[in-house]
Amino acid sequence: MDPKVLREKAVREAKRGLILDAARKVFAERGFHETRLEDIAAEAGFSKASLYNYYTDKEAIFLSLATRELERIVEELGKANDPERNSLENIEAMIRVIFATFGEHFAFMLTLATFPAGVACARMHESTHSVLFQKHIEGLKRIPSLFADVLVRGRASGEFCFDEDAADIARYITGIIRSVLLSWRMDRKMGDINKETARIVAFIAHGIGAQTR
């Protein structure tokens, strides 16, 4: 590819990143409904008019940001899945990744955790944001899929003993994690990551017949 085109693409992506970083801050402070495009533009150091060169509207920014944060979680989950560790330790590490990421940008993640607002907007403008919306949904599906991979490997190695479909158990695990995040959102504060992780891991180990060492 032409070096000039590559440079222009890199600059454009960098600016899109700046806008999303600014949006994360504004959404965290104001919430989805109260955030205006001009607020995001001002935080990013752009004019509102120039913002349209990168995103069509607030919903597109929110969906792009939500997808970026989700992709980051998926990437970190992949790193946490270490084949040198036993499978239950990997599950524990992956749960910690989710909780730690939620805590890193707690205020924004509270907004993201109430994603019905974003979903409603995406569905309302499905013809406009269908690609972004579908990309986000695909990212959401990756999380239980990663847990399922660990469960399958653990069963194959004799670490776990269960007859249920690994995909179903993975959905149960992510459901438990979401319930903890929901309780933190309702309390408007983080809970104890170590305590919650230990409780979930103990519950999972009991349910899947983990052979503890």
Can you give the pLDDT at residue 117?
47
Mean pLDDT of the chain: 86
pLDDT band at 125, cuts 50/70/90?
low
Can you give the pLDDT at residue 123?
53
Is 151 a residue whose pLDDT tops 60?
Answer: yes
Tell me, rounded to whole angstroms, the distance of Cα 127 from its chain centroid. Answer: 24
Domains of the chain: 1-55 (1.10.10.60), 63-207 (1.10.357.10)
| Number of neighbouring beta carbons within 10 Å of residue 56 | 13
- List the alpha helices (DSSP H) in the chain: 3-34, 37-44, 48-51, 58-80, 87-104, 106-113, 116-124, 126-156, 166-187, 193-207
CA dist 156 and 160 (Å) reads 8
Q: What separation, in Å, do the N-terminal and C-terminal C-alpha atoms of the chain show?
A: 54
* Ranges 36-50, 64-78, 110-124: which has the least confidence: 110-124
CA dist 96 and 100 (Å) reads 6
Taking only the tens place, the pLDDT of each residue in 11-21 is: 899 999 999 99
Encode burial over 142-175: b for 16+ CB neighbours within 10 A, e otherwise.
ebbbbbbbbbbbbbeeebbeeeeebeebbbbbbe
CA dist 85 and 88 (Å) reads 8
pLDDT band at 134, cuts 50/70/90?
confident
- Cα separations in angstroms, 76 against 53, 97, 190: 31, 7, 20
Can you give the pLDDT at residue 30?
87
Highest mean pLDDT of the ranges 100-109, 134-143, 172-181: 172-181
Average pLDDT over residues 146-165: 93
CA dist 47 and 167 (Å) reads 46
